[in-house]
Structures are given as structure tokens and as C-alpha cells.
Amino acid sequence: MLPEDGHLSDQELVLAADGELTPRRDAQVRAHLTACWQCRTRLRGLEGAIGDFVHLHSATLDPRVPPAAGARAMLKAQLAEIASQAGTRRAWFLPARWPALAGFAAAVVALLGVYVAIPKSERAVPSPRLTPGAVRQVRKADVCAGSGQEGFVVPVSLQRRVFEEYGIRDAAPNTYEVDYLITPELGGAADIRNLWPQPYSATVWNAHVKDQLEDRLHQLVCDGQLDLATAQHDIATDWIAAYKKYFNSNRPRQN
């Protein structure tokens, strides 16, 4: 319906711009616009306002959107866990799927053999399947508030489970640190998905080096130079790459 002065309302002009009118009403509005310079000018003004809002929306929000990779990996891991707990996996064991699975299985066995052959002490980064990372619901203010170190000790029973998960049965004392992938100082959770046996020595990229990175990230977050979610994502995705990035160095610094 047209206003009494015969012109279109703002609401109708916006509906027309968004393609939300019924075909019949849309035809009437288009016919009016063809004849009416005033309404065409107002429509252009409203289209400009849409452009202004989109510009404002992007300019204020896009820089605050961190990369999706970490959150995506976290979601996938959680979905897989829920699905496996509920036994909803595909019936991969059905005979019809065996031929296709045979080649896949051979490839997995071959790769797994190579992986197992790597000395455990040289695994500088965790298995992304066993240790994708897990976080607590914390704010930046929480992680910067105090030490809270007493709550970060991994119980012996949980350490034992981590070693079992990684197939380590004969770990000598002080050889490994059952380490948090995302450190609690950055909101990491005391969850088996966030723990792995990290070697102290025998590699360049050892537990001491990762400790340096954790201190660095904590400092950057608390100084307001780095978003907490980005710090969590970077250390969980590839802590060695994160070390290189945040220390601007391809080799670990000397302790």
C-alpha cells in the first residue's frame, strides 16, 4: 500500500531492495520507481546506507575474527569422541567394504610402522589424534590474574594413562615431562586430550624450549599484544612453528 502522498515508504523500498516483496507488489513498486524520481533517489540513499552498514560491520569485526583452524580441529575432535562413545561409527567392518579397506589398511600399517620406528624420545610434537588440545572456559583476566600453579600438577594416574596411550612403558625418571599442549597458564585443560609425554632432551625442540614459548605467549597475552584464542590456537596447532613465529627465530634460544 502506498502512503497517502503516493510515495513508497522506507520499509517498502528496503523490502524491494532485498527482494522480499511478493511478485505482484514488486511489480507495482518497480512501476512506481520507474515513474518517480523522488522514490528512486530515496532508494539509492537506502542502498548507500546498506553499503555504509556493511562497511562498518566489516571494519569493526573482521579484524577480531581469529583463524578458524584451531576451533575447527577442536570441534572435529569433540564430535569424533561423542560419536565413538555412542557407537555411531560407520559399519566399516561389513564385508562389502573390505576390498577398499585393504589398501587403506596397508597404507596405514606402513605409515604407522615408520612412526613407531621413530624413537619415542624424538617425538617433539604430540600426535594430533591423541592430543588435539583442550581448553577451560577462561577469560584473559583469569589467566593473567595469578599463578595457580598448584592446580596445574598432573595427577600420577593421569600421567600413567598418557604414557599408556602413547605406548610408553619404560620411561626413565626425568626423561619425559607429561606436558600440557595448551599450557594451563593459557587456559589449557587438565584433560587427556591436552596432555602428552614430551621429551626433555634428545631433540632440539624439547620441553624446556616449549616452556620458553609458553612464558612468551603468556606475557604477550597479558600485555595485550596477543589475543588469548590466537595463542591457544597457535600452540595447539604447531608449537614449533609458534616458537619460530613469536621468537622470530628458526632455532631455540639458549637457556
Partner 1 sequence: MTEPDSVARWELAAATTSEDAPAPTADEQEVIQLFDELRNRLLRYLLAFGLPAHESEEVIQEVFLALFQHLRRGRSRENLRGWVFRVAHNLGLKRRLARAREVSSGTGEQEFLAAARADPAENPEEQLLSGQRLQRLQAVLRALPEQDQWCLSLRAEGLRYREIAEVLGMSLGSVSASLGRSLARFSRADEY
If one asks whether residue 74 binds partner 1 (CB under 8 A), the answer comes out as yes
Residue 75 and residue 252: Cα distance in Å, rounded? 31
For residue 63, the tally of other CB atoms under 10 A from its CB is 8
Q: Which of residues 124-183 bind partner 1 (CB under 8 A)?
A: 124-125, 127-130, 137-142, 145
**Lookup result for grid cell 599442549:** 181
Q: Which of 22, 34, 60, 149 binds partner 1 (CB under 8 A)?
A: 60
CB closer to partner 1 out of 88 and 149: 88
Distance of CA 52 to the CA centre of its chain: 31
The β-bridge relationship of strands 195-199 and 176-180 is antiparallel
Quote the cell numbers at residue 166: 602413547
**DSSP state, residue 133:** -
If one asks whether residue 203 binds partner 1 (CB under 8 A), the answer comes out as yes
Q: How far is the CB of 247 from partner 1 (least distance, A)?
A: 15
User: Which span (64-72, 163-171, 172-180, 188-196) binds partner 1, by CB under 8 A?
Assistant: 64-72
Site size for partner 1 (CB under 8 A) = 80
Q: Which of residues 92-121 bind partner 1 (CB under 8 A)?
A: 92, 104, 107-108, 111-112, 114-115, 118
Q: How far is the CB of 151 from partner 1 (least distance, A)?
A: 18
Residue 119 and residue 129: Cα distance in Å, rounded? 19
